[in-house]
Amino acid sequence: MPMKDHGPFLREIGDKYGEIFTLKFGRTYWVVLNSRRAVNELLVKRAAIYSSRGSHMAHSIISGEKRMLLMPYGDMWRRQRRVMHQLLNSSQKPVFRAFQDLESKALMADLLEKPERWYLSVARFSNSVIMSVVFGRRTALGDPDISALHRAQEEFVPFTMPGASLVDSFPVLANIPYLKGLQPWRRKGDEINRRTTSTFTRLMEDLKRRIDQGFANACFMTKLLESSAKKEDFTAEEMAYIAGTLIEAGTDTTRTSLLELVAGTAMYPEWIPRARAELDSVCGHNADRLPEFDDRDRLPMIKAAIKESVRWRPSTAQTGVPHALTAEDEFEGYHIPAGTIVTWNHWAISHSEAEYKNAEQFYPERFLDEDLDDIVKGHYGFGAGRRLCVGYNVAEGNLFIAIARLIYCFDIEQEFSHPVVVDKPFPVSAEVEPFKTIIKPRSEAHRRLIERECHSGVKFSSGAP
C-alpha cells in the first residue's frame, strides 16, 4: 500500500471489485467505500455505529491520544468537542468575520505587491484568521510557525492510511517491551510526537509570555486558560493540543481549497464571465467597492465555486479520516464486524464520472442547485456523518470572502511556458510553489481599489512590543 497517491491506487482496486471492498492488514480489516451512495448509506444514515475511531499509531503514539480528530468516542473526545463547538459554531460568525475581512484585504494587498509569492500569501491568509481568534496574534508572510504546523500535519496524515504502520496491522506488537530496536515504529512515532508537541507548546508559551507582559489580545485561549485554571478541565499539554488542532483544522482546508481555486481557474476559466457579471452587478463595473459578506445571497457563482474548490482535487488526505464500527452490521450481503475500520476514497469519488459529469474539469456550475447554500452537501471535503469538521462554517466564511474579492479584483492565468499540472497532490509545505501562475489586477481601477481599501490590512502588530 503506497504512503502517497493512495487514492488512485485504491481506485484501481475499486474498479475491479466494486464500490465497496475489504482490505486485510494483519488482523485489521478495512472497508473502503468508493461511491457517494455507499458513504451516505453507511457513514451518514448509520452514523450511530459508524462514527468512532480506531486506536492506531497516528492517534496513540504520534498524537499522544490528544488530537481530537483521531479520538474514539469517549470522555476526552466529548470534552474537547464541547470546547471547540463553543468557538466554531455558527453563532460565532461575527467574531470571525472581522478577522476574515481584515486578512482577506491583506491577501489582496499581498497579491498586488508580491504576485510571485502568491502561494505564501494564500498560506498566510489561511493561517492568520484562525491564529488571530485562537491565539490573539496575526501571521506574517513567511512566518516560521506556518512551516512547523504544516510539517506536523504532513507527518501524521500518512499514518492514518490503510496499512501505514506494522503495529496497526498487528496490535499485539504494542506489547513488546519498548527496548532499543524492538519497536522501530515507536521511535518514529515518538520523534513526530515530540516535534508536534514542541510546536503546539511553543505557541502556548508565547501566549503566556504576552499575558505576563500585558500585551496579549483577548482570544479563545486566554478565556480557556482562565476557565481551566478555575475548573482544572485540561492539562497544559491537552490545552496545547486543543489549540494546535484548531489551528491545523482552520488552516488546511482553506489553503488547499484556495490552491485548487487558483489552479482550476487558470486551467478552466470558462466560469469567470458569469461570476464576474454577478460581482460587477453588485460591486460596480468600475471597481466601486469590494465584495462584502452581506453580498453573499447575490453571488451564487461564488458560493458554487467554494464547493467546487473543496471537491475538485482532494490533496492533503486522498481518503477520509478512518471511522471505526462500534457494533456489527449487515449491508447488502456484506457482514461487517464491530471494530472494522471504514474509510472512503475521497479522491476516487471526486474524480468519478459516475458521480460528477466532467469530473476532471473545474466547473462550479455543477453546484447551482437546491443545495447550493449547504456547504457540506455534494462532496466530502469536510468529512462525513457525525465526524464532520466542526469548523466548516469558519472555512466557508474564509473561502467566500477570499474568492469573491480575488475574482472581482484579479485575473488568474496560466504561464505560457509553465502550464498548470495537477496530476499530483499539492505539497503540504507552504514554502513550495505548487505550480506557476500569473495573478494580476483586472484593471487600473481594480488596482486603485486594492490600494485604497486593502493596504491598511498589511500593517499589523503581533500583540507583542
Q: Binding site: what residues are annotated?
A: 389
CA separation, residue 306 to residues 92, 352, 386, 425 (Å): 20, 19, 22, 19
Collect contacts of 295-303 with beta carbons under 8 A, ≥24 apart: 295/404, 296/400, 299/275, 299/404, 300/368, 300/372, 301/271, 301/274, 301/275, 301/364, 301/365, 301/368, 302/275, 302/278, 302/400, 302/403, 302/404, 302/407, 303/367, 303/372, 303/373, 303/400
Pairing of strands 20-25, 323-324: unpaired
- 395 membership: H or E segment, kind and range: helix 392-409
Amino acid at 350: S
The answer to whether the beta carbons of residues 49 and 325 sit under 8 Å apart is: yes
225 contact partners, CB below 8 Å, separation of at least 6: 207, 208, 211, 239
Lookup: cell for 14: 475499486
Amino acid at 137: R
Burial class (CB in 10 A: 0-12, 13-18, 19+), 195: middle
The answer to whether the beta carbons of residues 241 and 200 sit under 8 Å apart is: yes
Which residue ranges make up the annotated binding site for heme?
Answer: 389
366 contact partners, CB below 8 Å, separation of at least 6: 304, 308, 356, 357
Distance CA 257, CA 348 (A): 17
Find the distance separating the first CA and the last CA of the chain, reported in whole Å.
Answer: 50
- 301 membership: H or E segment, kind and range: helix 300-311
297 contact partners, CB below 8 Å, separation of at least 6: none
